[in-house]
């Protein structure tokens, strides 16, 4: 009696496939689904790579350190990225205290910036600053 109940519950837990499909057809359907899924994943990877190459930046990171901010930017290609980043700092009213920049093959910059007007009660949001820097890097050169 107990064994019969266990068998019945085991049958209910199994995946149920349509009974009118033969094993051969079932394998073909599963195989086609896997091929479609893999193709979809490949397309997603290609799209992400195109976006990354289009915007040419790998990392934009802003961290708050007391009243100052540490900014790290890394790009695949240099171009006029330094000018764009400095213009973004100017627009945000930030002053560069210290910076290290490399433009050999790729562009990388680490800078410490602080608000120009220390007396002003402006709330500096790290996410907002990151967004402004990304927009500055994405806009066309010139």
Whether residue 51 sits in one domain with residue 66: no
- State how many domains the chain has: 2
Q: Given this model, what pLDDT does residue 127 score?
A: 84
Distance separating alpha carbons of residues 67 and 42, to the nearest angstrom: 44
Whether residue 126 sits in one domain with residue 80: yes
Q: Cβ(109)–Cβ(71) under 8 Å?
A: yes
Query: Domain span at residue 44?
Result: 21-55
Q: Given this model, what pLDDT does residue 37 score?
A: 92
Would 4 be classed as within a structural domain?
A: no
Q: What DSSP state is assigned to residue 76?
A: S
Whether residue 45 sits in one domain with residue 32: yes
Q: Given this model, what pLDDT does residue 121 score?
A: 55
CATH number assigned to the domain comprising residue 80: 3.30.70.260
Q: Given this model, what pLDDT does residue 12 score?
A: 63
Distance separating alpha carbons of residues 57 and 134, to the nearest angstrom: 8
Whether residue 133 sits in one domain with residue 78: yes
The one-digit pLDDT tens for each residue of the chain (142 residues) are 566 777 666 666 665 555 566 777 878 888 888 999 999 999 888 877 776 665 556 688 899 888 889 999 888 766 668 888 888 888 888 899 999 998 877 888 999 998 887 655 566 788 888 888 888 887 765 5
Residue 125, Ramachandran bin (φ over 0: left; ψ between -120 and 50: alpha; else beta) = beta
Whether residue 37 sits in one domain with residue 93: no
Whether residue 78 sits in one domain with residue 36: no
Distance separating alpha carbons of residues 48 and 31, to the nearest angstrom: 26
Q: Given this model, what pLDDT does residue 27 score?
A: 82
> What pTM, to 2 d.p., does this model score?
0.54
Whether residue 95 sits in one domain with residue 79: yes
First to last CA, the chain: 83
Whether residue 97 sits in one domain with residue 68: yes
């Amino acid at each position: 009696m107990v064994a019969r109940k266990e068998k019945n519950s085991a049958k209910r837990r199994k995946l149920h496939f349509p009974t009118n499909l033969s094993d051969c057809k079932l394998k073909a359907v599963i195989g086609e689904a896997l091929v479609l899924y893999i193709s979809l994943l490949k397309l997603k990877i290609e799209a992400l790579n195109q976006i990354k190459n289009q915007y040419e930046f790998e990392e934009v990171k802003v961290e708050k350190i007391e009243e100052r901010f540490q900014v790290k930017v890394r790009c695949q290609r240099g171009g006029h990225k330094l000018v764009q980043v400095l213009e973004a700092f100017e627009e945000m009213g930030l002053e560069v205290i210290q910076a290290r920049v490399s433009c050999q093959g790729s562009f990388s910059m680490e800078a410490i910036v602080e608000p120009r007007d220390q007396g002003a009660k402006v709330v500096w949001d790290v996410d907002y600053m990151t967004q402004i820097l990304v927009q500055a890097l994405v806009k066309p050169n010139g």
